[in-house]
A and B are shown apart, each in its own frame.
Chain A
Amino acid sequence: MSKRLFFVLSVLVVASMALAACGTAATPTPAPATQAPAAATQAPAATTAPAAGGKPDACATDAFGCAVFKPGDTIIIGMGAPMTGDNASYGIDAANGAKIAISDAGDFQGWKFALDAEDDGGTAEGGAAVANKFVSNPAVVAIEGHIFSGATQAAIPIYEKAGLPMMSPSATNPTLTQTGSKVFNRDVFTDATQGKFAAAYLYNTLKFTQIAILHDGQAYGQGLAQVVNDQFTKLGGTVVTFQAITPGLADYSAVLADVASKKPQALFYGGYVAEAVVLVNQMKQAGLTNTVFFSDDGVFGQDFLDRAGANAEGAYATSLIPPASDAKTKFDAAYKAAYGQDAGKLSPYSWSSYDAAAVLIKAIESVAIKGTDGNLYIPRGALVTAVRSTKDYQGLSGTISCDPTGECASSGPVFYQVKNGQWVPAAGQ
């Protein structure tokens, strides 16, 4: 009996040891790069002025004062992103892209940059909590993010009061730039921008005058289709039919036959990949033999190629993946070397994250003043203006020029076409 008890006890002991080991392995300590150093102190113009002699005049006149960095301090760029949970891949990817931008930037006159990525869970409450944390840290001078639109919306008013400029690589909700915020900017295109560029590409580059538009009746697909419809008509083209389809079905041959009877040159579809595959597979059968299939970034991806096969040939879609360039090749290699997987795999925002961080760093460098006391002064109000007035910055994802509302992705989406079973950047952009 006692032998048996001993056996049970020893099993329990071994099990608890194993569990304890797992526990430590599963909760890694935060990376030192994301730790905010406590040395930097904020020095608003009126109060607790340090060595008065070294302070530049800009700090006295700046609405939000200056961030002061002693030699050896680190300039922090904050990021609010979902770092845990279901959507963690977005936050991790954005942080990865931004870290590469920071290491590419090197140090500025001896001061290093660092990224502090805090977990906001992608929620509004999380966004506000992270924003409050950043606002109270004087070493944080700019924010990359937030990543999700909901969290961003909650965070904007907090940064607005503190004068922290933002650059989101992924918050695409159109209303974010319509509230008159001075601090919020984004270098990702919205659905409205995408639709506008798609209509222009169809009309100006592909020279189509008659298109049909289908959508799945959901917020993303219908919104996009509506923009394409309006813009294409405005440009002078004709939309021969504009219809919704019921998502999730396996047979759209009747509606496609209806579309075919109107003889469009192209069929634009606003929606996701599941229905797009069915549509593309049934187009020929429905009589749309020479009609070009054109869709959005909800359709772009390997899944479309795998499941539409030969029927996908010649189809267009938009994407955030920038066209090949030396800078992109270099970034992709650096990303792969640092994180062991390809850029764009975790989320499509790897490149815009890099650009967002690079733009912020450039703006910081343009306003930073080295005081005569050897400290670095960053006037916060001037930095907000500098980020908003970014012009013609050549990023990985295209030209970044901010308009007065903070929309900075001025080059729009990239159009891709299926050629020989691969997505390749389409001609004429």
Chain B
Amino acid sequence: MEKTAVHKASMPVNTYRLIQIVLGVVFSAYVIWRFYDVFIGNPAYGADTWMRFAISGVVLGSVYALVAIGYTLVYGILFMINFAHGDIMMIGAFGGYFVFEALKNIPSPTVGDPHQVFLNAHPIISVILAFVVGMIVAAVSGYFLEKIAYRPLRNAPRLVPLISAIGASIFLENAALLLFGSQRRDFVNPVQLTRGTGWNIPVNGTTVILPYTGVLTFVLSVLILIALYLLVQRTRIGRAMRAVAENKSTAALMGIDVDGVISRTFIISGALAGAAGVMWGIHLGLVYYQVGFIPGIKAFTAAVLGGIGNIPGAMLGGMFLGIIEALGPAILGLPFQLKDVLAFGILVLILIFRPTGLLGEVLSEEKV
């Protein structure tokens, strides 16, 4: 036993490389064989089922992507993992929930229906209001989170803000538990956006429902991601963010308000998480004090998968993770309970072959 260990330790670099390549080839061959088996050799599912998997994965992926960008933005600038980010998403979800609840109680009688409520009479305004409120409360929470939990620790060792982040996460969850109770609440949508309704696409003799809420989530998510990319690449504040990410002290010497930029970064990442929270509520319909925990963990994974600190990487990682979760077990013929095992297994594989994540190379040059 000892001998092999010694042997391994002194293994030349190209042997390690060789093992990597062999592993990669074996894994790819297995995946290709599974693809062949599942689609051509021994088709287990019809086109309708594949479409349902894909819809489920893309919608979930777009939510993960939004949350993942929050992790990545903060990491790019502060080199810390903001573990309370999922709970900021929860706050955003509650913001949207209470907007819908309030609008549900405002009467807005129309000619046809005297009992009409505002929520159903003006669904577009309601949804916009929910997003605006959800994003604002989440952005404000993000701002104060940074101010209270992270700023005093700016020059502390890197582990300290991490522990502070875990503490903030526990604090936020318990605050929500005390304020809103432990029950799972239903996110009541406008009738036009009732969950489970959508465009019916006839496929393979059955109809696949392309849900309105899913399309809304996906489109909105893509729009927000494009807006964010433009903000970071084309505006003064974006340039300042990139400069701070590159080198804080040099940025400060150039006259950039580093603390201000960091605050703004937390506001932006909070707003994104808030939007993701409202989307989560509208599409999946559940709000409770721990609703941000699992998406938070998944989005963190997605951010690492794409290359942490890299915005397009986070988008790609989020989408990739969502799709893997929905399609992976079907393609590999695994039980669906193992979807997380699969997602994290792929994370491990990618980190073995590309320790910086999918788009990680860009990180070392540009960071954000």
Contact = CB atoms under 8 A, between A and B. Distances in A.
Interface of A: 217, 243-246, 248-251, 253-255, 257-258, 260-261, 274, 277-278, 281-282, 284-287, 306-307, 311
Given A281-B196, A285-B211, A261 B337 contact: no
B284 interface: yes
Nearest to B195: A281
A45 B34 CA distance: 79
A281 B286 CA distance: 11
Contacts of A254: 52-53, 56-57, 325-326, 329-330, 336, 339
B12 interface: no
Given A250-B284, A284-B209, A245 B336 contact: yes
Report the interface size class on chain B: 35 or more
26 contacts: A243-B335, A245-B337, A246-B337, A249-B294, A250-B284, A250-B286, A251-B56, A251-B60, A253-B56, A254-B57, A254-B326, A254-B329, A254-B336, A254-B339, A258-B330, A260-B52, A278-B284, A278-B286, A281-B285, A282-B196, A285-B198, A287-B206, A287-B208, A307-B184, A307-B186, A311-B196
Interface string B318-355: 00000001100110000111011000000000000000
Contact of A217 (B208, B284, B337): B337
Given A284-B196, A287-B49, A246 B335 contact: no
A284 B197 CA distance: 9
Interface stretch (B40-48, B225-233, B241-249, B305-313): B40-48
A304 to B, nearest CB: 12
Contacts of B55: 253
B218 interface: no
A283 to B, nearest CB: 8
B230 to A, nearest CB: 30
Contacts of B337: 217, 243-246, 255
A287 B340 contact: no
Contacts of A243: 335-337
B291 interface: yes
A245 B330 CA distance: 14
A413 B175 CA distance: 41
B196 A285 contact: yes
A277 B185 CA distance: 12
Contacts of A307: 184, 186
Nearest to B335: A243
Contacts of B198: 285
A250 B280 contact: yes
Contacts of B329: 254, 258
- In the complex, which of the residues A217, A287, A311 has the most CB atoms of chain B within 10 Å of its own CB atom? A287
B81 to A, nearest CB: 23
A111 to B, nearest CB: 49
Nearest to B213: A285
Nearest to B291: A250
Interface string B13-26: 00000000000000
Nearest to B185: A307
Contacts of B56: 251, 253-254, 257
Nearest to A244: B337
A240 to B, nearest CB: 12
Given A246-B340, A258-B53, 4 more contacts: A244-B335, A244-B337, A284-B196, A285-B196
A254 B324 CA distance: 11
B286 A257 contact: no
